Amino acid sequence: MIISKVADLRQELKSKDPGAKVGLVPTMGYLHRGHLSLIERARAENDIVVLSIFVNPTQFAPNEDFDSYPRDLEKDCKLAYQSGANYIFAPSDKEMYGANYSTYVNVDGNISRGLCGKSRPNHFRGVTTIVSKLFNIVNPSNAYFGMKDAQQLSIINRMVKDLNYNINIVPCPIVRDENGLALSSRNAYLTDEAKKQALILSRSLKEAKTLYLEGENNAQELKRYIRGKINSMSLAKIDYVEIVDQETLENIDYINRPSIIALAVYFGKSRLLDNIVLEDK
Amino acid sequence: MIISKVADLRQELKSKDPGAKVGLVPTMGYLHRGHLSLIERARAENDIVVLSIFVNPTQFAPNEDFDSYPRDLEKDCKLAYQSGANYIFAPSDKEMYGANYSTYVNVDGNISRGLCGKSRPNHFRGVTTIVSKLFNIVNPSNAYFGMKDAQQLSIINRMVKDLNYNINIVPCPIVRDENGLALSSRNAYLTDEAKKQALILSRSLKEAKTLYLEGENNAQELKRYIRGKINSMSLAKIDYVEIVDQETLENIDYINRPSIIALAVYFGKSRLLDNIVLEDK
């Protein structure tokens, strides 16, 4: 069932057994297999699965791709039902941000400042605000987020802890295409050539992890290695390549705790994210 | 039952009938009859009444009275039980703001900028943050707030609407002592002489309302009248006297819609608030 009004979704959920477990999968739509893996996981772990599809204006800067962000609600619904969603919540901008809208949830500090927060200053404020709203509307037991957006995941974990949301955040592994490219709705912007060159992202992350497992703990060395690989591609423009503590996202020089190598790289107008976790050896 | 841990309060509430109505009364303690009227109202309208007592550090500026704010948990508990509270949630600072705490809820815009927001720049950010946390912990059907803190009430209404909290906010009338002084925990700071002089606040508001009802719709005139009255008191130092739209809190010049005359006045180190509603004639 597609629902566009907050009140209608509340009414539907209220009519269910109050003990029913509700799983929420927040998305911006244009679903790919990564999203579907979240829905399937939610299906397996809950009685009711709510998928939200909302291209959230407050997480885009004026110069970003809000208007051109790909949308296909009809196809999304078909895929979502096949994967086990019960409700698709697809509200309008006006439904989510009415007249005189004024309230924002913000996670301050280092966790928001580095990585994507540096080039997208108000992005995460928009993310935490819309996610709070969805949490308050759906009141889920579990909420599902992809690990491709590593910083988003850390920030949401921080918010849930700080604001005492009684919600279990379930991180879901990155889903990749057959060549290793991390799936993203923004891959739709890539030319064939860019798509080919973008494979360097996952490949260089994987190689750096191998170097780490073979004994290289110096973060500068690993970053230099990855940057060199990416810069060898004519269409690539690095936004950042960083190695950070998995929980706090603080930069680290010597890798001696669970860490992430995270990167953002432009290929034309597409800004692609990828990352790889370095567990303790 | 006094509870100091979030997890314990959750456990208690979870053990109740899921259909039970929970009423929340958030306070900073040192209860007076104003607070008790909130508890009594909550008792009448809910199955379970949770009173929170927490002197919230994030709503005090460094130069304010956080350390000296009056506290008396033992007496508070006695009064609260007598008025019908079932649970008293009295957490430590550390329980509410743990290590690396980073998340704040903020209501931007005119509603927060004027009145108390002018002289207490981060005050309401602290209020909305702690109230969000309490909402997420208690998940109440109804939450009770006194109308003495008129701006706080408007901001919380805005937050509830914006963040889609499914909570009914119940505004409760100002409770006054036998001479008309609005009850406040901060009245404990007043000398006898200040307490006598402070009666000018409610008296001048009441007189201004009479002038309004007799035909004076010019906000400047009414404010000038009140300021003159207050300035005749030797110990009074006006922070503000304003007439604002009841919902948006925007300043108005000509009174033609539901409005509030709101004021904040120092008597010694006590900053006292009072207000009166001007309904449509």
For the stretch A133-160, pLDDT in tens is 999 999 999 999 999 999 999 999 999 9
Residue of A nearest to B18 (CA): A18
The length of chain B, given as a count of residues: 281
Same domain, A217 and A161: no
> B107 and A102: CB-CB below 8 Å?
yes
Under the banding of pLDDT at 50, 70 and 90, the label for residue A269 is confident
A162 closest CB neighbour out of B101, B107, B161: B101
Q: Total structural domains in chain A?
A: 2
Residue of A nearest to B103 (CA): A107
> B103 and A164: CB-CB below 8 Å?
no
Same domain, B30 and B152: yes
> B103 and A136: CB-CB below 8 Å?
no
Distance, CA of B204 to CA of A74 (rounded, Å): 63
Question: Among residues B172, B198, B233, which one ends one of the domains?
Answer: B172
Per residue in A75-115, pLDDT (tens digit) is 999 999 999 999 999 999 999 999 999 999 999 988 999 99
**Which residues of A touch chain B, with CB atoms under 8 Å apart?**
6, 10, 18-19, 98, 100-109, 111-112, 128-129, 132-133, 136-137, 139, 158-159, 161-166, 248
> A104 and B102: CB-CB below 8 Å?
no
A194 CB burial (10 A radius; 0-12, 13-18, 19+): buried
> B103 and A19: CB-CB below 8 Å?
no
Q: Does residue B179 fall inside a structural domain?
A: no
Given a cut of 50, the residues of chain B with pLDDT beneath it are: none
A162 closest CB neighbour out of B102, B112, B128: B102
Same domain, B144 and B201: no
Structure tokens at B227: 């300021």
Tell me which residue has tokens 């990564």. A34
**Amino acid identity, residue B91?**
P
Question: Among residues A172, A197, A225, which one ends one of the domains?
Answer: A172
Same domain, B100 and B210: no
Chain A hits for B154, CB-CB cut-off 8 Å, are none
> A163 and B10: CB-CB below 8 Å?
no
Same domain, B30 and B164: yes
CATH code for the domain of A266: 3.30.1300.10
Q: Does residue A180 fall inside a structural domain?
A: no
Cβ contact A105:B162 at 8 Å: no
Is the whole-model pTM more than 0.90? yes
Interface test with B, best of A122, A124, A164, A250 (most B CBs within 10 A): A164
Chain B hits for A106, CB-CB cut-off 8 Å, are 103-106
Cβ contact B262:B150 at 8 Å: yes
| Strand A22-27 relative to strand A2-3, pairing | unpaired
Q: Does residue A211 fall inside a structural domain?
A: yes
Same domain, B160 and B197: no
Residue of A nearest to B129 (CA): A163
Average pLDDT over residues A264-269: 94
Same domain, A148 and A86: yes
Distance, CA of A61 to CA of A53 (rounded, Å): 19
Annotated active-site residue A123? The verdict is no
Q: Does residue B145 fall inside a structural domain?
A: yes
> B248 and A100: CB-CB below 8 Å?
yes
Question: Among residues B172, B202, B217, which one ends one of the domains?
Answer: B172
Is A280 a residue whose pLDDT tops 90? no
Per residue in A45-73, pLDDT (tens digit) is 999 999 999 999 999 999 999 999 999 99
Q: Does residue B178 fall inside a structural domain?
A: no
Chain A hits for B108, CB-CB cut-off 8 Å, are 102-104
Same domain, A29 and A152: yes
Interface test with A, best of B164, B245, B249 (most A CBs within 10 A): B164
Would you say the ipTM is above 0.90?
A: yes
DSSP states of B125-188 as a string?
HHHHHHHHHHHHHH--SEEEEETTSHHHHHHHHHHHHHTT---EEEEEPPPB-TTSPBP-GGGG
> B162 and A109: CB-CB below 8 Å?
no
Same domain, B13 and B147: yes
A103 closest CB neighbour out of B100, B136, B159: B159
Same domain, A136 and A247: no
CATH code for the domain of B31: 3.40.50.620
Is A184 a residue whose pLDDT tops 90? yes
Same domain, A157 and A255: no
A102 closest CB neighbour out of B19, B133, B162: B162
Residue A259's DSSP bridge partners are: A245, A278
The length of chain A, given as a count of residues: 281
Q: Which DSSP state fits A174?
A: P
Average pLDDT over residues A250-279: 95
Residue A275's DSSP bridge partners are: A262
- Active-site residue identified among A24, A34, A35, A87: A35
Q: Does residue B180 fall inside a structural domain?
A: no
Under the banding of pLDDT at 50, 70 and 90, the label for residue A74 is very high
Residue of A nearest to B96 (CA): A162
Residue of A nearest to B97 (CA): A162
Q: Does residue B167 fall inside a structural domain?
A: yes
Is A281 a residue whose pLDDT tops 80? no
Min distance B46 CA to chain A CA atoms (Å): 18
Domain range for A114: 2-172
> A136 and B164: CB-CB below 8 Å?
yes
Structure tokens at A257: 């705790």
Same domain, B127 and B266: no
Q: Does residue B7 fall inside a structural domain?
A: yes
Min distance B19 CA to chain A CA atoms (Å): 8
Chain A hits for B125, CB-CB cut-off 8 Å, are none
Per residue in B9-37, pLDDT (tens digit) is 999 999 999 889 999 999 999 999 999 99
